[in-house]
Every structure is written in C-alpha cells, then in structure tokens.
Chain A
Amino acid sequence: MAETLSTLGVPLRLANDDRGVYRRSDTRFFLFSQEVGHLVVQEPAKEKPGAEAASVVTTEISPTERGTTPARPRVQRVSTRHDDRYILLKKFEGFVISRGERSFTARLFENSSDYPVVEAEFDLEEISETDRELAIEGAALVWTIGYGYDGSTRKRESTIYLRRLPPWSEKEIAQARQAASELSRGIQWE
C-alpha cells in the first residue's frame, strides 16, 4: 500500500480521487492540484520486486503517529499547487472623452466621488481589436492593474477593456421620456 505524507500536515485524500488529481509525466508523483498545502504521493514502483500493488488507498498520518510510522515510503517534497492568484492593486472605471486615429483619452475614477480624477491617453494598441471600434466618446471602460500569478511566476498586468453595456430598449426610452415629460410639466416657470 502506498502511503502519503503531507509536508504541511494537512488532511490527505485518496490519490485516485477524481477531484483534480493528475500525474506529472516525468515523475511518479501524483499531485493534488486543488488541495491546500503541498501534498506528495509516491506511487510504488511496480517493477521493483516485492512492491505492493498500487491500490492507492491513502492514509492520513497524524502528527502523533508520524514519529512512529515505520518504513516510510520515499517521499519527495515538491510544490504541488498551481498558483493562479490575482492581486488587484488598482481598478479604474471611466469613460472615453475623445478618440483620435491612433489613441483615445479617458477620464478615470477609482470611486465615483473622486476629485480630482485621472485622465489618461492610451494607444489604441493597448486594447483588443474588437474593443477598438467601441472606443468612442462616452463609452464606458475599465482599467485594472495588478499582479497575476502563473505557478511560481508573478507578472505585473495592466488590462483595459471597454464595457459592453446592453443597448437601449424601446421600452426604456419610452419610460425615460415619459418621466422627463412629467418632470417638465411639474415645474412652474415664471
């Protein structure tokens, strides 16, 4: 029987559990990508004489038991979790105030009560080809700045995209005009 050891002492799970277990092709380790902490499973080498069949039932080893575990299997510490965190440093929302041939300018807010606000000019290359036609005066946009993780790699990211707001509906426009008309009729001018 194969045993598993947690390098962090976290609860262990079955190696053949279907919850995100995969095997690295270059090793004999099963890695639990979804688990918290680092978890290593050593598959018994079938070719070795005397090895048990890999029924791969795992056993949790409590800290108290750990010291008394006889004949520990060969366990190697590896980083198992795929880190895909994103740390947001800044998020601006805003709108396009002008559009040129190669660039556009936007007014940006972290909070709607911001004062002063930020105005920034961007090269159209900064946004996707599909977003470029949306970058007209008044168009809403979002700009996020943060750190993205890809495993052990950290990348500084700046992402700008135009918001695809739902188009006006006939009903909305009719209701808005009705409300404005009532507002206007309710005012007595001298």
Chain B
Amino acid sequence: MASSGNNQKAPPEPQELEVSVFGPGYGECVVLHLGDGHWGAVDSCLDLGSKRPAALHYLESLGVDVEAALRFVVATHWHDDHLQGIKEVFHRAKAAVFSCTEAVRQPEFDQFLGAWAGTRFLAGGSGIDELHRILTELKDRNPGTRYPLPRLASANKVLWERTMQPSATVKALSPSDAAVFAAIAQLRTAMSEPSKARRRLPNLKPNDASVVLSVQVGHHRVLLGSDLQVRKDHGLGWMAVVDGIEAGAGSHQVFKVPHHGSPNGDHDEVWNRMLALQPWAATTPFVSGDVRLPSVGDCQRILGRTPNAYLTAPPQAVKFRDPDRTVEKTVNEAALSAHFVPGKYGHVRLRKGISEPAGCAWRVELFGHALSLEKYVLAAH
C-alpha cells in the first residue's frame, strides 16, 4: 500500500534501500540509496519549487553530504529531459563515478558535440550542453586523478560496486555494440554542415544508446529502464537486453518503467524474464507538444502487469497564466494552445530494509502530485 508521504525529509536507515523517482512532466531523475550511506543518481531533472536539480535538492533536504556520499552519477542518454541540471549534480559529487553511454567514445560523437557547440547561445540549453560540461569537468578532474575515473556504459558492464557486505552492484545492461553503431549512424544524420542554417540540436530518436541499469543490493534487485525502446532488430533496444541477460539476472522487484510508460518501451519478455511477479513499478510523465505520456491506455496496460504501479505526476499540462492580463489574453489569442512545461511534479519513494526477504513488500510513499496508476485511471474515467 502506498501512503501520502508527510515526512519527505526523513532519511533512510543505514541498512535501508531506497529508490526515489522524480518526474515533473518534462524530465526524470532516480535517486538510489544502496545502504551504508552510499547514494547514486541516475539522470537529472529540476525540482519545480526550488528550480534546482531534484537529486541535490532532495539529498540536501535529507542532510546527506553530497560531496562524499553520492558515489555514482549516470546519464542514461543525451535527451534534454533526462539531463537538466546533471552537470551541477556531478560537479558537487566529488566522490562519484560518472557513467554514460559508450557512444560518446566514438570519433563521430566528438564531431557531433563540437559542431553543435555553436548553438549554445540559443535560449533553453540542451542535453548535449549538459553532457559537454560534464566532459569538460572530467577533463579537468583527470590531472592528479584523486577523483574516481569515469566508466563508459555498455551491455553487462559493472559501473559501480561495493564488495563489503551488504554487497552492491550497479550494472549496465545496454547499449549493445549494435546499438552504439546505430546511435553513431544517427549522429551522422544530425551533423551540422557549412551553409546550413544554425539551429538548436533536435532530439534524436529512437534512443538506441540508452543505458538500462540493473542495481543489486544483497538479494534485492532494481531495474531502471531509462528511455530504451523496443526495436524490430534483435541487436537493438529491449530485445538485445533480454537476449543478453545472464543466467540468474532476472527477478527484479522494482522497475522504473521505460520511456514514460509508452507502448514503444513495453516488451513482454522484460516482464516475463527480468521482473518478479507483480513488481513495484514507477514511471514519470512526459508532457510536450501534443504528446502526453503515459496515456490512460498505457496505465491500464501497466496495471495489467502489476497493481503496484505509480506515477510521479499526472501527464497534464498547466494552462499558461501571466500576471499581466493583456499578455495572457494575447497569448491565448495568438497561440492555438499555450501551457507551462513541466506542469505537475511529484516524487515516488520506495524503501525496504536490506535484511528483509526479497519477496517482502516495499514501503511506498507519494509526495507532491505523485499517485498510483490505479487512482489516475479511475480519475480519468
């Protein structure tokens, strides 16, 4: 059972696991406590109230020493909505291993990164800017190497581990080699060329180079699905992950549902082979343009897999408002629609003692606009 959280600032016990999912409708961040005061952050979005990176805002509110306790920061892919504020998170996390997709190591990525640097003056920033700043910080951190070296994420590569009991491992399950090549081919299509008008980097789809993570602490497992999609090619997307999982790597009890609950991130084999029966699932909404994820149908599909499913906020736009009535009136007249992005914001928190049995229920707390999928579907009807 989920409860409406009333003490968001209460830190977990040292021997307690935590999976916190933040999502404002445009952006996503997962914060993990792996026991013994070791924390990790996967992707980044901004807290709607403080306008600061959600991970930093939350960890500081718990009284966590971010500099020492945040042990890994992962950027799963370079889409804007997953990287807002991640450079600030990593800058503060002096003890953290940084990981991102293997695709950034390819020469084509250098060309891509460099060529789009010329659009940084445009309003709004972008995920590629955030990544560029992290790479700059990594370069600056290298001399002396008192910082942990960064690790490139690829299928079945361990990104962070703790050998002392309780043991903990953070392992990448993607991207596959084929996915890296596919991502590089995609980058080539987006290369800037002389005589072409300067513009902001468009979002590249699909997200073949996304990093899916399997987190294990003792006998507890968490699967973080990033934005990975299902592709027809067995070497790409979720099919490559499912085909590549090692024996005994299944039965994750918690699932960060990929790609905001979209049908293109849903694969039967993931639920059948990689997840425990009726796992605890959480996802974040996506509200942009005319896209609203997850749809009510998506929520019903996920509820068909597990009743323990939660959403950090309903995928609803917040209508544009302005203190100046003339501005508000003009905006609403000139535009077919106008709204604020992100709209609503919430936090789904799951906690469990490391010593508890794997099959034992997680304690779910909901903050802000977070709600169960069941409640969302009922309200929608």
Binding site for B on A (CB under 8 A): 89-90, 93-95, 97-98, 103, 105, 107, 109, 112-113, 115-123, 126, 134, 136-140, 143, 145, 147, 156, 158, 160, 164-170, 172-173, 176-181, 183-184, 186-190
Contacts and interface: CB of A to CB of B under 8 A. Distances in A.
Contacts of B203: 137
A95 B24 CA distance: 21
B202 A138 contact: yes
Contact of B51 (A115, A126, A138, A167): A115
B198 A116 contact: no
A90 B320 CA distance: 14
Nearest to B106: A184
Nearest to A97: B289
B360 interface: no
Interface residues of B, number: 68
Chain A at the B interface: mostly helix, strand, loop or mixed?
A: mixed
Contact of B338 (A119, A123, A184, A189): A119
Contacts of A107: 124, 288, 341
Contacts of B149: 188-190
Given A89-B326, A116-B340, A118-B320, A95 B115 contact: no
28 contacts: A93-B122, A95-B123, A105-B289, A105-B290, A107-B124, A107-B341, A109-B124, A112-B125, A115-B48, A116-B341, A117-B340, A120-B338, A122-B334, A137-B203, A140-B123, A143-B334, A168-B192, A168-B193, A168-B195, A173-B114, A176-B115, A180-B110, A180-B117, A186-B139, A187-B135, A187-B139, A187-B142, A189-B150
A59 to B, nearest CB: 45
Interface string B59-96: 00000000000000000000000000000000000000
Nearest to A90: B327
Contacts of B164: none
B288 A176 contact: no
Contacts of B330: 89, 145, 156, 158
A168 B110 contact: no
Contact of B135 (A119, A169, A184): A184
B268 interface: no
B9 interface: no
B198 A121 contact: no
B124 to A, nearest CB: 6
Nearest to A172: B118
B246 interface: no
A189 B200 contact: no
> Which of the listed residues A116, A121, A158 has the most CB atoms from chain B within 10 Å of its own CB?
A116
Interface in B139-188: 139, 142, 145, 149-152
B339 A115 contact: no
A87 to B, nearest CB: 10
Nearest to B48: A116
A188 to B, nearest CB: 5
A89 B123 contact: no
Nearest 4 A/B pairs, CB to CB: A180-B114, A138-B199, A176-B114, A186-B139
Contacts of A139: 197, 199-200
A169 to B, nearest CB: 6
B122 A95 contact: yes
A176 B321 CA distance: 40
A118 B24 CA distance: 14
Contact of B114 (A112, A117, A126, A179): A179
B358 interface: no
B194 interface: yes
Nearest to B337: A121
B199 A167 contact: no
B201 interface: yes
Interface string B298-328: 0000000000000000000110101010110
A188 B135 contact: no
Given A95-B199, A116-B343, A126-B334, 18 more contacts: A89-B326, A89-B330, A90-B322, A95-B124, A105-B290, A107-B124, A116-B26, A118-B338, A120-B331, A138-B202, A145-B334, A160-B334, A173-B118, A173-B192, A177-B114, A188-B149, A189-B151, A189-B152
Contact of A166 (B138, B145, B198, B201): B198
B175 to A, nearest CB: 15
A173 B194 contact: yes
Contact of B197 (A116, A134, A160, A189): A134
A169 B43 CA distance: 34
Contact of B118 (A136, A168, A189): A168
Contacts of A121: 289-290, 335-338
Nearest to B335: A120
B192 A94 contact: no
